[in-house]
Amino acid sequence: MTKPALTLYLAAPRGFCAGVDRAIKIVEMAIGKWGAPVYVRHEIVHNKFVVDSLRDKGAVFVEELDECPDDRPVIFSAHGVPKSVPAAAEAREMIFVDATCPLVSKVHIEAQRHAEAGLQMIMIGHKGHPETIGTMGQLPDGEVLLVETVEDVAAVDVRDPDQLAYVTQTTLSVDDTKGIVAALHQRFPNITGPHKEDICYATTNRQEAVKSVAPKADALLVVGAPNSSNSRRLVEVGAKNGCDYAQLVQRADNIDWRALEGIGSVAITAGASAPELLVNEVIDAFRTRYDVTVEVVETAVETVEFKVPKVLRETA
């Protein structure tokens, strides 16, 4: 029986960013240096396949520091942690390695700098997300106010409207965030913004790639985890840019084939914490059902690399 023809538009860039790549290396190198088990506070990155793979190598994932023994190394996730966490680890004389993405650390430093200048912070982010918790936890309670929407900006209660600065979560929708920033500037004309855009290069690049492929395709599949902020934003960007069917899938076996019946083209991308192996798995699943033509749609080339912490580059 002849397979129906299908064009797969493969968005590029997609998948792992430099911060995720670094965080995974940190866990692997820590296990290599200190042996198993090595404890990791929170998922190192938001991807079940990655977490399970590291667990198999000897990583133990916990939610809080008090679940870790004093005599084993602990790693803080790529999303960043409140200042209280490394302080508690130091107090217990633990070995710890901070795998916070350097671009998240940049936001932390920015928030601290603004606070030292006497400014109250507004953070644009998602309530409860580890990165938001980590960034807000860089300053004392009440010094960082969270807004998620334009409506939140209208309601936020500030100490002094002329003494404000804002930062953003690094994985937000670029387009949605512009609207919130505009609302902040409208209500607080003297608010200070980031020296350089907080939304990271990888989030921006992946969203731009989706904008290029979405209008070409009958459907968009984003390979990523349901708790991955940047992956969920890619689904939203696809839906807003001409793709009637945009879905998040963790693995090939999550694909809803009935929803794809009769289509002629599918765009595929992956969130910044999804390995390329899972993208290939999805492509292979399409090949078993269709006569596939793959077309890569590349909108940027990424060359960013981040060094792992010095403690891991030194011999034990």
Indicate which residues carry an active-site annotation. 131
Residue 200: which residues within 8 A CB-CB, separation 6 or more?
Answer: 17, 19, 101, 103, 170, 171
* Order of all β-strands in the sheet with 38-41: 59-62, 38-41, 74-76, 96-98
Question: CA angle at residue 143 from 138 to 146, to 5 degrees?
Answer: 90
Rounded Cα distance between 76 and 41, Å, is: 5
User: Other C-beta atoms within 10 Å of 153: how many?
Assistant: 22
CA distances from 184 to 106, 136, 302 (A): 21, 18, 31
Torsion, CA 282, CA 286, CA 291, CA 295, rounded to 10 = -40
Contact 160, 117 (CB under 8 A): no
Contact 109, 88 (CB under 8 A): no
Rounded Cα distance between 43 and 23, Å, is: 10
Contact 272, 20 (CB under 8 A): yes
- Name the one residue in this structure whose structure tokens are 């689904």: 235
Rounded Cα distance between 93 and 234, Å, is: 41
Rounded Cα distance between 69 and 246, Å, is: 43
